[in-house]
């Protein structure tokens, strides 16, 4: 185990039972002897993760609740009150199907009986959960000698795309909220903007993701989680990972108007099945 500021720290990680959250949980435990308090929804996935850690399984404890509910955060904060917490990593997120806004409203009404319920769920899971976590947990974190906060945003927070209007809005809120905290706090606050990574976050898609363009730009989970892990270990503040994320971030900052139409046209001309509900 190399000397690193995060060695032996106690970390809360949301969305820790699958995808990027699971992989960085594994790395912090195996490489840095951290104690990770995982937050997620699936007991079975947490049990599988603990089993995969072998003799270090005691470095993982977990709580299952819906991060979009404020009352659940209040209960969680009460359960760990008095504990020594060093780092908070807000990673949990949900991605609705790629579709135009009108189509998303239609799907929300069809699935829940209300035009806005599903859309509100995206905002609450992706942004409000971070607001709740910071409200109720940062006072604990800030008692540490090495407090740290890392929020997982998205390339969609750097540059809006058609078909993910509500998701982009939620991640834009995460981006601006995190950047404000970077200016306010006197300790390490980091923001991660991953590009297209094939994880469980795409489980809600209604159409096939098989496409040459997507295969070309997508970063595999192992590579993405390794980059994120190393970025946190180096205390990087703004982390944009993935070929597509770097292109979107760079082009939007230099050509904000042209980049929007350019990326829209690329998506349209890809003829990817997953984008059909956007352009039809």
pLDDT digits (tens, 9 = 90+) for 155-191: 999 999 999 999 999 999 999 999 999 999 999 999 9
Q: Which 3-state string (H, E, C) describes 123-144? A: HHHHHHHHHHHHHHHHHHHCCC
Cα(29)–Cα(11) distance, integer angstroms: 10
Residue 47: pLDDT band (50, 70, 90) is very high
Residue 201: pLDDT band (50, 70, 90) is low
Write the DSSP string, 95-131.
Answer: -PPS--HHHHHHHHHHHHSSSSHHHHHHHIIIIIHHH
- What is the average per-residue pLDDT within 44-48? 97
Residues 279, 268: contact at Cβ < 8 Å?
yes
Per-residue confidence (pLDDT) for residue 170, from 0 to 100 = 98
Does 116 or 204 have the greater pLDDT score?
116
pLDDT digits (tens, 9 = 90+) for 20-40: 999 999 999 999 999 999 999
Radius of gyration, CA atoms only, the chain: 19
Architecture of domain 10-94+121-275: 3-Layer(aba) Sandwich (3.40)
- What is the average per-residue pLDDT within 242-265? 94
| Helical (H) or strand (E) element with 223 | helix 221-233
Residue 238: pLDDT band (50, 70, 90) is very high
Cα(229)–Cα(223) distance, integer angstroms: 10
pLDDT digits (tens, 9 = 90+) for 70-100: 999 999 999 999 999 999 999 999 999 999 9
């Amino acid at each position: 185990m190399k000397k690193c500021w995060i060695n032996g720290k106690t970390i809360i990680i949301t969305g820790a039972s699958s995808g990027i959250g699971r992989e960085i949980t594994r790395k912090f435990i195996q490489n840095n002897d951290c104690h990770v308090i995982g937050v997620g929804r699936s007991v079975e996935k947490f049990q599988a993760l603990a089993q995969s850690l072998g003799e270090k399984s005691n470095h993982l404890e977990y709580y299952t609740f819906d991060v979009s509910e404020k009352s659940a955060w209040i209960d969680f904060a009460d359960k760990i009150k008095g504990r020594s917490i060093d780092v908070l990593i807000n990673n949990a997120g949900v991605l609705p199907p790629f579709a135009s806004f009108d189509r998303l409203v239609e799907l929300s009404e069809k699935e829940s009986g209300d035009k806005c319920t599903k859309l509100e769920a995206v905002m609450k899971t992706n942004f409000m959960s971070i607001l709740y976590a910071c409200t109720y947990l940062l006072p604990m974190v800030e008692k540490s000698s090495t407090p740290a906060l890392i929020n997982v945003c998205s390339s969609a927070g750097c540059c809006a795309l058609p078909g993910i209007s509500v998701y982009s809005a939620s991640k834009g809120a995460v981006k601006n909220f995190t950047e404000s905290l970077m200016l306010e706090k006197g300790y390490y606050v980091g923001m991660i903007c991953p590009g297209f990574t094939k994880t469980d976050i795409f489980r809600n898609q209604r159409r096939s993701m098989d496409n040459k363009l997507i295969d070309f730009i997508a970063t595999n989970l192992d590579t993405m989680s390794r980059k994120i892990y190393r970025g946190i270990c180096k205390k990087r503040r703004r982390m944009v990972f993935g070929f597509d994320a770097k292109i979107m971030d760079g082009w939007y900052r230099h050509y904000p108007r042209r980049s929007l139409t350019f990326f829209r046209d690329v998506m349209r001309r890809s003829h990817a099945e997953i984008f059909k509900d956007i352009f039809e």
